[in-house]
Chain A
C-alpha cells in the first residue's frame, strides 16, 4: 500500500483549470520531487493535499484512508513553506512546540493564563519542551532556541521551519520550495541535509521545486508537471535520458536540449547523414522534432564531418565549455557541451562541423509525445564511438 495516493485530482479557480486530473502514488519512505515551471499548479496540488484547498474532483488517500472532508489539522501532514511561515512573535523553541502543543494539550490547557491552572498542563509542557530540545539538537539549532525569527538568518529560519515540521511524526512531509530563499551556496548544502534527514526519518516526502537541479539530485522519483498535468513520473535518470514528452525534454537539462525540426517519411527520419527508424510509423510524411542533449553534439573543426555550422558564442564554465552554434542549412541554433581541451582554439565566428550522436537522438511527434525510434546501424555514429576516440586521443 502506498503512503499517499492521488487519483484524478482536478481544481479550477474561476474557470481557470489549475489541476487537470493529477494521479500520483508515493511509496513508503519515498522522496518524490514535483518539478515544473512556475504557475504549473504544483503549489496548488500541495495545498489540496494538505487540506488547505479543496479539489473539485478526485480523491486523496493517505495510508489508504480517504481524506475527503478531513481538515488540514487532522491529516497528520507536516509542511515546510517557501516563506517558512514561522510565527514571528514566537521564539524558535515556541515555534517548534506549536504542533506538539496543539496536539497534546486540550483547548482549555492551551488558554493563556487560565491554561496554567489546568491539571497535567505542566507535565505535558515539560515533555514538549524536552522533545523540542531533542529536535533542535539533532538539527544543530539548539543555540537559536531563544531567538525570534526576525533575529535569525535565512538558513537558520529554514532549519527552524524544518524542525517544526519534523518534531512530530507526520505521515507525509510536504515541502514547498523550501530552499528557494537561500543563497546558492547554502542551497546546495541544504539539499544534502534534507536528503540525509529524509533518509534518517524515513517519512515519505513530496518536494515541490521549480529547480530541476534540486529535483534531479534529491529525489528517488521526479514528477514533471506542466499546465496542471503530470507529464512523466520516473527516476531522475529516466527523466533526463528518456523523457516521455517534448516538454519534459525541454524543461529538464541545463543547457537546454537541442530541438531540430525534421520530417519522417514512411517511418524514416533523415537528418544530415543520420537516419532514425520509427517503430510503428504512420504512413506518409509527418513532421517530427528531433531532440538531442548538448553533451551528445560533437563539434569538429573539420567541416567535412557532420552538419555545417558557425559558432555564435562561447561560454567557459570551468569544467566544461558551452558552444552556441547556428546551422548553416536551416538556421536553427544548436548547443554543444564539450570538455575544455576540445574547445581550445575555437572562437566565436569560427565555422565548425557538428556531429550528432544518432543513438542519443530522440524523436517527438507534433503533439509532443515521444516516438520510439532506433538509429540505423551504419548511419551517423554512436556516442560510444566518440568516447572511444577520446579515450585513445
Chain B
C-alpha cells in the first residue's frame, strides 16, 4: 500500500502523507458534522425559513410572506406585553438568585459540620420537578387558605392575592423563580469557592487584610470571576426561558399579566397552530439570547481573570 502511494506521487511522500492525514481527519469529524447539521443547524434554519411563511399546522399549503410576520409582531400587543414581562421577570430573578446563591455558597463553605446537609437542602428545588412543586406553591400563595397570607394575617398585614391579581402575579412568579434557581447557582459558586487555594487567604491575612470583606475583595471575588461569568450567563438564559411555572400556575393570566415569551410562542404554535408566526417569535427569542450572550462575553470576559 505504502509503495503504491509513493509511486502515485513520485518525489514527494511528505505531501502525500499530509493529504492522507487530512482525509482521515475529515472522516473522523464527519459523524459530528452530520449530527450537528441534522439536529442543530437544520432545525434553526427551518425555523428561520418558516418565520417568513404563513404556515399553519393542518394546512397542506403555505406561501412566503416576507417580513409580514415580523411587521405583525411589532404591533402585536400580546407579544409586546410578554416581551416586557419576560424582561421584568429576568431583571428580578437573575440578580437576586445570583447574589443569594453566592451568599449561601459562602455561608456553607465556612460551615464545617452540616455542610452536606445544607448543600443538599438548597439543591433540592433544582432537582425537584417544578410542575409537581407548582401545586405546593399554588397552596402557599392561596389568598385564603395559603400559609403565606395566614402568616401575614398574624402580623396584622393584609395579604395580597398573589397569583390572582395582575399587579402581583409577576412578582409571585419571580419568587418561585428565585427559589428554583438559587440552589443551582449555589452549587456552581461552591465549586468555584473550593477551587480557591487556602494559602491565598493566609497570604491575604498576613498581608493585612483584616476583615473578611477585605479578603472577599482581594481573593474571593476575583478568583470567582470565571464562575460568576458562567453563573450570570446561565441565570439570564434560564430566566428568559421561563415557561413551566407560568403554564402550570397562571396560564399567562390574569389578563395577560404573566404572559412571557416562551408561553406566547407556545400559545401561537401549539394552541392556535400558527407555526409561521410562532417561528418568527422564536427567531426573535433566539436573537435576544444571542445578543445577551454576546454582550456578556464582550463586556465581562475582559474583566475576568482565568488561571
Residues of A within 8 A of B (CB): 47, 50-52, 71-74, 77-79, 81-83, 85-90, 98-99, 102-103, 107, 110, 112, 148, 150, 164
Contacts and interface: CB of A to CB of B under 8 A. Distances in A.
A47 B207 contact: no
Given A79-B203, A85-B202, 20 more contacts: A51-B205, A52-B205, A52-B206, A71-B205, A72-B202, A72-B205, A73-B207, A73-B209, A73-B210, A74-B210, A81-B199, A81-B202, A81-B203, A83-B199, A85-B203, A87-B203, A87-B218, A87-B222, A89-B225, A99-B207
Nearest to A174: B206
Contacts of B219: 87
B200 interface: yes
7 contacts: A73-B208, A73-B209, A74-B210, A85-B202, A87-B203, A103-B208, A164-B207
B156 to A, nearest CB: 41
A356 B143 CA distance: 97
Contact of A77 (B200, B206, B211, B222): B206
Contacts of A102: 207-210, 214
Nearest to B219: A87
Contact of B206 (A78, A89, A110): A78
A108 to B, nearest CB: 12
Contacts, number: 70
Contact of A88 (B206, B207, B214, B223): B223
Nearest to A78: B206
B23 interface: no
Range of interface residues on B (Cβ < 8 Å)? 20 to 34
A74 B200 CA distance: 17
Contact of A73 (B197, B206, B217, B223): B206
Interface string B271-307: 0000000000000000000000000000000000101
Contacts of B307: 88, 150
A112 B209 CA distance: 15
Nearest to B208: A102
A83 B196 CA distance: 13
Contacts of A82: 199
Name, among B205, B208, B305, the residue most crowded by chain A CB atoms within 10 Å (CB to CB).
B208
Contacts of A103: 208
Contacts of B199: 81-83, 85
For the complex of A and B, 9 pairs with smallest distance between CB atoms:
A102-B208, A89-B305, A85-B203, A72-B205, A85-B199, A89-B222, A73-B210, A99-B207, A73-B208
Nearest to A76: B208
Nearest to A97: B207
A90 B197 CA distance: 15
Nearest to A165: B206
B200 A73 contact: no
A87 B207 CA distance: 11
A73 B207 CA distance: 6
A110 to B, nearest CB: 8
Contacts of B214: 102, 107, 110
A87 B205 contact: no
Contacts of A50: 202, 205-206
A71 B222 contact: no
A214 B225 CA distance: 39
Contacts of B204: 98
B235 to A, nearest CB: 23
B223 to A, nearest CB: 7
B224 to A, nearest CB: 10
Contacts of A51: 205
B197 A83 contact: yes
A107 B216 CA distance: 13
A168 to B, nearest CB: 9
A88 B208 CA distance: 18
Nearest to A88: B307
Nearest to A99: B207
A306 B183 CA distance: 77
Contacts of A99: 207-208
B206 A87 contact: no
B200 A87 contact: yes
A207 B57 CA distance: 79
Nearest to A79: B206
A88 B307 CA distance: 7
Contact of A71 (B203, B210, B217): B210
Contact of A47 (B202, B208, B209, B225): B202
Contacts of A150: 307
Contacts of B208: 73, 98-99, 102-103
A375 to B, nearest CB: 50
Contact of A52 (B202, B209, B222): B202
Nearest to B200: A85
Which of B199, B207, B209, B219 neighbours the largest number of chain A CB atoms within 10 Å of its CB?
A: B207
A121 to B, nearest CB: 16
B223 A89 contact: yes
Residue from the set B197, B217, B218, B225 with the largest chain A CB neighbour count within 10 Å: B218
Contacts of A112: 217
